[in-house]
């Protein structure tokens, strides 16, 4: 068996959010520790995005080729040529609308909580953290050393608000949504107890994503709806009506 092909297959399944249990832990460890694996994963991610638009580009290219061929053959006056260009423009627009509709329908039909999580999760950007002091956890987070960060977090006797939030993101980055939920809920309790507001709005979004990753769309939906209803929420644009409809679809399938 070709070991590299097997490794590539695992990376593709990881990228699609299909791995679980020991396989997920093994490939995640390999990605964390092996630069070559991270590079291959990024290449696969780019190839996946390119594949999505391949059919669209191919069809447009075909129509363009046909149009140019007809234009070269015609010897009619300028006005018919302009009419022909307009006709082909309508054809291109019709194809674009059709392909967009097919793509949207496919995304809706195949939506699952895990897939929505994989497609929408991006780890919190550290430069957005509040305050100017730098902690050990922040240094590890910036380096991308999530494993060590979580080890250090679990040693803390009295975590701060920042600690909870970064650890929650680290759990999500290592595909441990249940632990992320527990950590984000602990941050909510920390804020209530201490009358603080550490990452209040960020927390809503990442907790909702955690519920998706943990296959609990019913718990994620109210949080996403709250964000969508507030145009001033920093994650408002990330929660579109289309995204909400897909979350609702996965929720209905679970009932």
Do 248 and 221 contact (CB within 8 A), yes or no? yes
CA separation for the pair 109, 27 (Å, rounded):
28
Rounded to whole angstroms, what are the CA distances from 73 to 59, 67, 77, 81, 85?
A: 21, 10, 12, 11, 13
**What is the CATH topology of the domain spanning 116-254?**
1.25.40
In tens digits, the chain (255 residues) has pLDDT values of 445 556 677 777 777 777 778 888 888 888 888 877 777 777 677 666 655 555 555 555 565 556 555 555 554 454 565 655 656 555 655 555 544 444 444 444 455 878 888 888 888 987 644 445 578 999 999 999 999 999 999 999 999 999 999 999 999 999 999 999 999 999 999 999 999 988 999 999 999 999 999 999 999 999 999 999 999 999 999 988 888 888 887 765 444
- Residue the block writes with tokens 């006709």: 87
Do 227 and 205 contact (CB within 8 A), yes or no? yes
CA-based nearest residue to 234, from 125, 113, 97: 125
CA separation for the pair 95, 53 (Å, rounded):
13
> How many residues does this entry show for the chain?
255
Which sign does the torsion angle of CA 200, 130, 166, 232 carry?
positive
Burial (CB count within 10 angstroms: exposed 0-12, middle 13-18, buried 19+), residue 98? exposed
Whether pTM > 0.85 for this model: the answer is: no
Domain boundaries, the chain: 3-33, 53-110, 116-254
CA-based nearest residue to 216, from 255, 166, 169, 165: 255
Do 165 and 124 contact (CB within 8 A), yes or no? yes
């Amino acid at each position: 068996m070709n070991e590299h092909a097997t490794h590539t297959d695992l990376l593709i399944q990881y990228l699609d959010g299909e791995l679980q249990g020991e396989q997920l832990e093994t490939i995640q460890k390999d990605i964390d520790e092996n630069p070559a694996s991270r590079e291959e994963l990024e290449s696969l991610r780019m190839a996946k995005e390119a594949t999505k638009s391949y059919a669209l580009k191919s069809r447009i290219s075909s129509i363009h080729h046909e149009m140019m061929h007809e234009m070269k053959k015609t010897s009619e006056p300028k006005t018919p040529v302009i009419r022909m260009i307009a006709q082909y423009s309508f054809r291109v627009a019709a194809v674009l609308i059709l392909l967009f509709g097919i793509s949207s329908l496919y995304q809706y039909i195949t939506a699952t909580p895990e897939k929505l999580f994989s497609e929408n999760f991006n780890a919190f950007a550290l430069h957005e953290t509040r305050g100017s002091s730098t902690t050990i956890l922040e240094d590890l987070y910036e380096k991308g050393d999530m494993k060590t960060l979580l080890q250090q977090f679990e040693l803390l006797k009295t975590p701060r608000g920042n600690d909870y939030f970064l650890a929650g993101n680290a759990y999500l980055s290592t595909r441990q949504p249940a632990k992320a939920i527990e950590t984000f809920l602990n941050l909510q309790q920390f804020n209530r107890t201490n009358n603080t507001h550490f990452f209040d709005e960020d927390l809503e979004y990442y907790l909702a994503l955690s519920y998706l990753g943990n296959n609990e769309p019913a718990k994620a939906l109210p949080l996403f709806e709250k964000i969508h209803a507030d145009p001033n929420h920093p994650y408002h644009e990330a929660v579109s009506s289309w995204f909400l409809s897909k979350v609702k679809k996965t929720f209905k399938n679970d009932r």
